[in-house]
Structure 1
Amino acid sequence: MNSSDVTTENLPLGGFSTQSLARMIFRAELPEHYLRALPAQSLFLAIKHNGLESSVDTLESISDSQFRALLDFDLWGLDRFNEDNFWEWLAVTDARNDLVLLQKTLRTIDLKLVSMVLAKYVDVVTFEEPTDHPPEPKYYTPDRGYTWINIRLENEHRHFLLGRLLALIFETNPNLFYQVLAVKNLETNTVLEETSFQERNVRLAAEGIPDIEHAHQLNAPLALSRAISQIGETNQLEVIADIPTVEPLVYEGSLLQPLASFLEKVHRSDECAAELSIIMNSALVHFNVELHDHHQVLDLVRRVRGAINIGLQLLVETDQVTEQGIYSALGLRGLYRAGLYPLMELRRNALKAARQTELGQDLDAIQLAILSGLTDKFPHIPSFFQSDGSIQAHDQKVKAEFKEISQLQEIHALSNFLRELAIRYDKK
């Protein structure tokens, strides 16, 4: 184990990582009442880790409110309806020879999304008097000839899934059936999507995921001088209340030093877990990471932890504040913002260097990789870049993997790298 890392199992701040929670759910080691008590986002991360098709038992066991939140997480790509994921969820409802999951989906899904799919793939012809004659071949009627439907899907499985959903809607509530078919005559899909997105964001706020404005505030870089000034003020940090702890976001992997020791000393594990949850979710919103992209989510978690660790190092290095004073005045939110400040300064300088070097001319593969990582919206560095600025690459072979920036020493080394680039091109 690296000396800068400490496993969460050794700390007061400890809980389920994505992998451990997913494993326990997959093995059915959690009782149903515990499963239903889990925050929906924790469930979602574990289910995405296991895969939907392997999570049918879990999906049947959880509450409707949890299921609705899972759909809210997975059916959107940023602010756009993700139709591919919609079909994936419909396919899961066909995993068994019953309608349990499909009925739960119908109870919980935003029907505006269903209407959007129907508007795209279903033709409807209605008659005032019933008829036995379809308007065209391939049309069928669910109501003895008043309404005729044609599903325009070449994919046979999707055709079956959509027809199955329509049949259930009709059997459950005929009036609802006619309403979802008629929506396309009343609203455009653009309006439906926008309205559905806004309503989804309101529901996500109840899960501890901030709106764009709040996320922007939580991700605003904080200068070191301002952070020190805040510690000297008498105002106490606002306590986070009613925010569910999303364990896979908080407890994933290992904690860095000196952050691990800091959390031990402040001894407020519940508050810290709640703070980390809101910080992580605010970063997901601010940096436009799709909630259903498991790899990107966990990658951002590591970058956020790195920023918090850097913020702590910056303040401790000043010798002007105590650790208790730091937490009371700034909390982990302030440390995160303080760590973002030098990271975003690196990014600004890297973007300037990229312009000066005329989009990478005269740079070798290693320099290009470093510059590419630093110009990312949330800067990170190639895995071959060491804390002291040395390069661990064999025969100039550059690995594509990137890692978070987590140490103040790395900030200094990267600043020197950019400074040398600037000097080099200023001379040209």
Structure 2
Amino acid sequence: MNHPTTRDLQATLDPQRKSWIDSANDAACDFPIQNLPFGVFSTAQDAQARVGVAIGDQVLDLAVLHDAGLLSLSSAQSANVFARAALNDFIALGRDAWRSVRVQLSSLLATGTAETATLRDDAALRARALVKLADAKLHLPVDIPGYTDFYSSKEHATNVGSMFRDPKNALLPNWSEMPIGYNGRASSVVVSGTPVRRPNGQLKLPDQERPVFGACRKLDIELETGFIVGRGNALGEPIACEDAEAHIFGMVLLNDWSARDIQQWEYVPLGPFNAKTFATTISPWVVTLDALEPFRVAQPVQEPQPLDYLRHAGKHGFDIALEVLLRPEGASEATTIARTNFRHMYWTMAQQLAHHTVAGCNTRVGDLMGSGTISGPTPDSFGSLLELTWNAKNPLELKTGGTRGFIEDGDELTLAGWCQGDGYRVGFGECVGKILPAAR
């Protein structure tokens, strides 16, 4: 394995580069050759989960490519890390390996490179290595040792603070000084398409002295992204803010389902518990930071200036368009209920990771870090129904009739996200979950 050069990496981002897989060249495709996101899949013919890359309407089987000698790793990395049911072993090889594989795949899939014919013109190999995306079963892409959720959108925090506290003092004093977060539940992170059961819990009704037990009545989404830790840190050795992005493998879409009424009763004094532990849905494809590089933008101005350990030079935001769709059970079409952008996030991923480790907390390969609900500056760009309907006071009108204050049983929620390039887009695919009735 050669260390990829800056020129090699830039070539993978060339907006003029095309693939011999025609569907990848469609301007509306989430998975052009400039993207090459990693995931884990299986098929009806081969139930063994293994690592793949999305390209157009196909999944490229990296285990097959490795065994065919078309993906080289260093001699110390000779085992087929792609024949695994999670990305962790591949991620653990380090950033040089991630980038080398990206460069090799781009050359194999592009038109006009020296490597083009190696895969394209070998019909037998191509038949083994390419699977229609529609025929693939997509799995949770990583084994997640730990999950942390942040609270890093100023607009979202302001809306919630205005709703439940004093609009004139919506943000608590510490919010502007550090990325607020809490440790979530890794065991209940599920892949897109997994049904989510409405949670039961304690509910404190306004006219009742004591709580009652029952099904959540205010079930909500939280439109988020998440990043996957690619290189951990030792216990007691913090990650510097300037170095933090080198520790990040890539990003996913994330829906941190939220039981607002359960949370309202339980969160004082220690924060959310059962209101968030029942499910967190992520998209199946991990989009690498290298693929997102052309869409880097400046983060919002931070006032007051962060303390030294939270400072980093340069641009650390990303221009990622995001939207939420809601489709009631049996409805012919979904209603787009929100459109926003990741660029609005006040605290960056690098700052989140630096703060997470500053006290000495160690992180591990595969750890998942949620951004927190992403809300924009306008009412149609809020990232939760709590905000979109202002706690159900202003229900949303649906295309197919009816309204929603919060999520009802049978509703299917879809998060989508993409970066718009010149004639192509780098997308995340979809993050989908349908709500099942609460357990009796």
Larger radius of gyration: 1
Greater relative contact order structure (CA < 8 Å, 6+ sep): 2
Instruction: Give the TM-score, by structure 1 length.
Output: 0.27
Name the structure with the higher strand share: 2
TM-score norm. by structure 2 comes to: 0.27
